[in-house]
Amino acid sequence: MLELDGVGFGYSPREWTFRGVSFKVHAGTATAVLGPNGSGKTTLVRCAAGLLSPVEGAVRRDGDAGYVPQAHGTAFAYPALEMVLMGRARQVRFFRSPGPADRAAALEAMDRIGIAELQDRLFPTLSGGEQQLVLLARAIAAGCPVLVLDEPATGLDLKNQARILTLLRELCSDGMTVLLSTHHPDHALYLADRVVLMGGSGPTTGTADEMLTDGELSALYGVPVSTVLYDDGDTQQRTIVVHYGGR
């Protein structure tokens, strides 16, 4: 479980990034944070992961959180497997090196995501999308009950976006608590049980059905947005269409 209770954050006393954010993510569910650039999505998920301390309010978690940042490369030329092994730091005692169990957990995480063949590649030589997949494997290898992701689809092609969304849904089915920020409302529509909208009159929260509507999304992004139905085998699903050019 992950809970934010009246959380507010600002980089100066007179300028709040956001205030009064309250929601709870139960085990086995996913919550998505959406909003335009500069609305505070990354700051909010960093507070949720424990990387930033809120100025007001409280964050409560059942255990540690695995955090997946946006991939921006690194100056350290570690092999991809070593990057994933870093996620095992909580399980390794002081002055000890990762053992066989840690290595097995790292390899299992890479295999689950489908990037085992990258284990010997140096991290800076990977594409941005491949780096993002390595960072996700690192968070999964940590074995934390809470997973917090900042725009996990950054740099990924459509196939790998589908792979990540499917994996996150599987992790929820396994009982993990998932919070992610995203610029893709259709990803939230596929994955999230609840949604947090940042921007406009202030943060609002609700179920995915309540928040991911034509009116809410059009107001949030300032462009016309429509949700449409399509047939997916025996069921009908919703997807989201942006009216480019404002029409």
Q: Where are the domains of the chain?
A: 1-63+145-216, 79-140
pLDDT score, position 199: 83
Three-state secondary structure call for residue 132? helix
pLDDT tens readout for residues 133-149: 999 999 999 999 999 99
Listed in sequence order, the DSSP H helices in 100-181 are 100-113, 128-141, 158-173
Q: How far apart are CA 216 and CA 43, in angstroms?
A: 22
The reported pLDDT for the residue numbered 97 is 62
Write the class of the CATH domain 1-63+145-216: alpha beta
Tell me whether strands 30-34 and 194-197 are parallel, antiparallel or unpaired. Answer: parallel
Alpha carbons within 13 A on the beta-carbon side of 34 = 28
What is the pLDDT at residue 74? 65
Distances (CA, A) of 100 to 53, 97, 104, 106, 145: 35, 10, 6, 10, 22
Q: Using one digit for the tens of pLDDT, what is the confidence trace for 84-103?
A: 998 887 654 443 566 788 89
Q: According to the model, what pLDDT value does residue 154 have?
A: 87
For residue 166, what are the contacts with CB-CB under 8 A and spacing of at least 6? none
Residue among 5, 1, 33, 3 nearest 19 (CA): 5
Tens of pLDDT, residues 188-247: 999 999 999 998 777 999 999 999 999 999 999 999 999 888 887 778 888 888 888 766
